[in-house]
């Protein structure tokens, strides 16, 4: 039996997950999510880790491998670090075992990942540096429109005539939105337009990595935005030769932490097989 | 250990000292060395290799000039080169025309590429009062052909520096300098061995800064500095991470930004060998201190120097084998090719070296940088996914 923990330091929140793995069976023992809100992410990482351990009824000494991901490389108590794409792929497979592709929709970028049934990354592509396809951009727009972030999804789905927004540049898109507000376009139509614009970029990424007939699992901070998920499904329907189904999961925000913990356990067992356990000390 | 009259101990204090030497683009330490005694002279040299023993034997300070890094704004330097030329000659010119090298009495430009060779001619025109030498090395390693040529080159350099000093360099002075540099190479070798064995105890950025200090400090002081760092690093307990072990290569000329080296380790890669600052370990064995010192230096270059991409290798079967040997010697699990943009010696050899690694089933990745690269995210991504693939999917 291997006990492993994953700590995911994201842009907006720190997530921790503790797992027990035995003979390929996984048991999720504890979890914690702390919003950063201008606090020190490194300190929060320790707090989130301890909270997840407390829920699991374990102490730090009980954990065989602590894996970090995201921006967590500098966390002092980690055993090893995995890149966020690697962990999101594994976390997505845990939450949706049929997933053949993952769309990681984060605060700063979007990423399409083709995965196999073990959660191994086969290929991937990221959005370019422009923020127009990112959660940060959507947060800014919500602030301009004076709505809460958790209202975005439901408002977007009330749209009857979505307004087209630039998908090239966040600055242009924000200008578009200001013009729309002054022209009296309704908030649902503005939000749906933004969602369609973001979905257009993300689905092009999916196409470019060769995802065709598969389940697409959404992860990252935007994965629970029902408006975005609906827009992605609409955009996929429009694409020729694409027969993909979009899925999400209530625990999708933990995908990175889950993946880190499960890869940590996998790595620990591999080191044990190789007789190199001191590397996981 | 005493540096500039200050007792320095512990890795933190040693690394802070090395960092300040690294950051100082006015070369204050070398200036202070020069002014401490009347008549002292400083000879600058660029990467990759010059026989520093001859400079030292002339009582002069060999000063490594490795470009301007990521803290120097290049204003004048860009006017001298096309956009498809690497950055180190531009920033070196910037150092020169901005007066940062005005205390340097001579500059040596080793035979590494056409750009650096041409820079030697430009330096002569720009700074006519400075001794300038394009230092050529043989591409034929037969004693009677390349060997006799190289003995002539070394003898000429010896004569030149003797004239610059005002008195010829004696054989005994050369033998003494060879011994001093043998000691330095031995200590550098210990540092590399220690890091290869326990990379978490000697992070790559620290090892680099310690090595880099040797570009501006007198060699005796540098040897003591490495010894002090090793003692301090061995005494400190640092956490071992589950990182993969990699050999970093192609970084022998234009220097990678310090943040790049740090980013590799943060991304999960312990650097267990590299080809940074090759001048410190170009010669792989002690140079004999008896007999003809010039002949000994020539023999060492011909027969006891590592065949990296920075050296012409006439034997195709030997091409790239130094990388395979480095991987085996250090227990590395992969190789990272990090070449400066537009670096002919690194980039032209890369496909051949990668073929050798593929045949030996050694994984590798490759990317490019400039000495002033600021965006590390793509590098972290490549190095991070490389580390993950090794840790999760490699057989060993």
Inter-chain contacts counted by CB atoms under 8 A, chains A and B: 57
Are A80 and B388 a contacting pair at CB < 8 A? Answer: no
Question: Does residue B353 lie within any of the structural domains?
Answer: no
Question: Does residue B310 lie within any of the structural domains?
Answer: no
- Pick A73's closest partner by Cβ from B240, B266, B385: B266
Reported residue count of chain A is: 281
Query: What is the pLDDT confidence band of residue A2, given thresholds at 50, 70 and 90?
Result: very high
- Pick B393's closest partner by Cβ from A79, A85, A120: A120
Q: In this structure, are residues B337 and B307 in contact, taking their beta carbons and an 8 Å threshold?
A: no
Question: Does residue B130 lie within any of the structural domains?
Answer: yes
The CATH T-level fold of domain A2-89+253-280 is Nucleotidyltransferase; domain 5 (3.30.420)
Question: Does residue B155 lie within any of the structural domains?
Answer: yes
- At the top level of CATH, which class does the domain A97-248 belong to? alpha beta
Question: Does residue B351 lie within any of the structural domains?
Answer: no
Question: Does residue B202 lie within any of the structural domains?
Answer: no
Are A267 and B396 a contacting pair at CB < 8 A? Answer: no
* Residue B198 DSSP class: -
> CATH number of the domain that B52 lies in?
3.40.50.11890
pLDDT higher than 50, residue A210:
yes
Region A177-196: what's the mean pLDDT? 89
What ranges do the domains of chain A cover?
Answer: 2-89+253-280, 97-248
Q: What 3-state DSSP class applies to A185?
A: coil
Are B393 and A86 a contacting pair at CB < 8 A? Answer: no
Alpha carbon B268 to chain centroid distance? 24
pLDDT score, position A131: 56
Pairwise CA distance, residues A270 & A80, whole Å: 13
Please tell me which residue of chain B has the smallest CA distance to A83. B384
Q: And the tokens for A231?
A: 């827009």
Pairwise CA distance, residues A133 & A200, whole Å: 9
Averaged confidence pLDDT in chain B: 94
Please tell me which residue of chain A has the smallest CA distance to B384. A83
Contacts A91 to B, Cβ<8 Å = none
Whole-model pTM? Answer: 0.89
List, for residues A236-277, the tens digit of each pLDDT value.
999 888 888 999 999 999 999 999 999 999 999 999 998 887
Q: And the tokens for B233?
A: 């690093």
pLDDT higher than 60, residue B1:
no
Contacts A280 to B, Cβ<8 Å = 242
Pairwise CA distance, residues B163 & A59, whole Å: 72
Query: What is the pLDDT confidence band of residue A141, given thresholds at 50, 70 and 90?
Result: confident
Contacts A274 to B, Cβ<8 Å = 396
Distance from CA of A155 to the nearest CA of B (A): 35
Q: Which of B263, B388, B396 to mutate to test the interface with A (most CBs of A within 10 A)?
A: B388
Number of structural domains chain B divides into:
1
ipTM: 0.83
Please tell me which residue of chain B has the smallest CA distance to A85. B385
Residue B54 domain boundaries: 2-173
Q: Which of A80, A111, A281 to mutate to test the interface with B (most CBs of B within 10 A)?
A: A80
pLDDT score, position B184: 98
Q: Across the strands, what pairs with A21?
A: A2, A26
Q: Which of B245, B392, B394 to mutate to test the interface with A (most CBs of A within 10 A)?
A: B392
Helix axes B10-23, B219-235, angle to 10 degrees: 140
Are B242 and A74 a contacting pair at CB < 8 A? Answer: no
Contacts B392 to A, Cβ<8 Å = 86, 120, 263, 266-267, 270
Pairwise CA distance, residues B77 & B83, whole Å: 11
Pairwise CA distance, residues B71 & B67, whole Å: 10
Are B241 and A271 a contacting pair at CB < 8 A? Answer: no
């Amino acid at each position: 039996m291997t006990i492993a923990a994953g700590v995911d330091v994201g842009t907006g929140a720190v997530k921790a997950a503790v797992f027990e793995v035995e003979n390929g069976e996984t048991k999720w023992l504890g979890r914690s999510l702390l919003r950063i809100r201008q606090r020190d992410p490194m300190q929060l990482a320790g707090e989130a880790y301890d909270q997840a351990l407390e829920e699991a009824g374990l102490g730090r000494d009980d954990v065989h491998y602590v894996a970090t991901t995201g921006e967590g490389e500098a966390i002092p108590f980690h055993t090893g670090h995995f890149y966020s794409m690697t962990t999101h792929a594994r976390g997505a497979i845990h939450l949706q075992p049929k997933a053949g592709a993952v769309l990681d929709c984060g605060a700063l970028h979007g990423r399409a990942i083709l995965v196999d049934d073990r959660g191994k990354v086969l290929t991937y592509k990221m959005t370019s540096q422009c923020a127009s396809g990112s959660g940060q951009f959507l947060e800014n727009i919500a602030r301009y429109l004076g709505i809460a972030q958790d209202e975005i999804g439901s408002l977007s789905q009330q749209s009857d005539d979505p307004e087209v927004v630039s998908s090239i540049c966040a600055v242009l898109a924000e200008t578009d939105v200001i013009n729309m507000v002054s022209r009296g376009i309704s908030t649902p139509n503005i939000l749906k337009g933004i969602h369609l614009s973001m979905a257009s970029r993300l689905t092009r990424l999916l196409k470019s990595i060769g995802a065709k007939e598969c389940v697409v699992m959404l992860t990252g901070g935007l994965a629970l935005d029902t408006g975005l998920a609906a827009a992605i499904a609409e955009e996929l329907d429009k694409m020729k030769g694409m027969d993909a189904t979009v899925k999400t999961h209530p625990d999708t925000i933990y995908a990175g932490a889950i993946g880190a913990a499960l890869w940590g356990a996998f790595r620990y067992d591999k080191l044990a097989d190789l007789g190199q356990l001191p590397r996981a000390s | 250990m005493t540096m500039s009259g200050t007792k320095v101990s512990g890795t933190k204090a040693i690394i802070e000292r090395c960092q300040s030497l690294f950051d100082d683009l006015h070369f204050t330490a070398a200036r202070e060395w020069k002014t401490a005694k009347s008549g002292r002279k400083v000879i600058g040299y660029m990467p990759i290799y010059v026989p520093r023993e001859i400079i030292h034997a002339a009582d002069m300070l060999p000063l490594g000039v490795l470009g301007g890094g990521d803290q120097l704004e290049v204003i004048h330097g860009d006017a001298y080169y096309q956009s498809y030329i690497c950055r180190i000659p531009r920033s070196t010119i910037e150092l020169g025309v901005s007066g940062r090298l005005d205390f340097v009495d001579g500059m040596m430009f080793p035979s590494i590429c056409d750009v650096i060779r041409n820079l030697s001619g430009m330096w002569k025109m720009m700074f006519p009062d400075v001794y300038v030498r394009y230092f050529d090395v043989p591409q034929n390693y037969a004693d009677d052909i390349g060997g006799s040529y190289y003995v002539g080159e070394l003898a000429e350099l010896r004569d030149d520096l003797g004239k610059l000093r005002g008195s010829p360099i004696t054989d005994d002075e050369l033998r003494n300098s060879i011994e001093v540099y043998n000691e330095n190479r031995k200590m550098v070798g210990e540092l590399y061995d220690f890091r290869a064995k326990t990379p978490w105890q000697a992070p790559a950025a620290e090892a680099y800064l310690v090595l880099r200090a040797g570009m501006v400090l007198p060699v005796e002081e540098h040897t003591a500095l490495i010894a002090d760092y090793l003692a301090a690093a061995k005494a400190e307990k640092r956490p071992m991470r589950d990182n993969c072990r990699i050999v970093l290569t192609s970084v022998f000329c234009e220097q990678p930004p310090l943040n790049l080296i740090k980013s590799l380790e943060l991304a999960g890669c312990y650097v267990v060998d590299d080809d940074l600052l090759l001048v410190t370990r170009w010669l792989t064995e002690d140079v004999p201190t008896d007999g003809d010192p010039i002949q000994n230096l020539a023999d060492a270059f011909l027969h006891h120097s590592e065949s990296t991409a920075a050296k012409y290798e006439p034997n195709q079967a030997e091409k790239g084998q130094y990388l395979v040997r480095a991987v085996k010697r250090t227990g590395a699990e992969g190789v990272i090719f990090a070449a400066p943009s537009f670096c002919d010696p690194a980039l032209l050899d890369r496909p051949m070296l990668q073929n050798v690694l593929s045949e030996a089933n050694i994984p590798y990745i490759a990317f490019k940088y400039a000495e002033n690269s600021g965006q590390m995210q793509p590098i972290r991504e490549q190095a991070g996914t490389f580390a993950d693939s090794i840790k999760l999917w490699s057989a060993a």
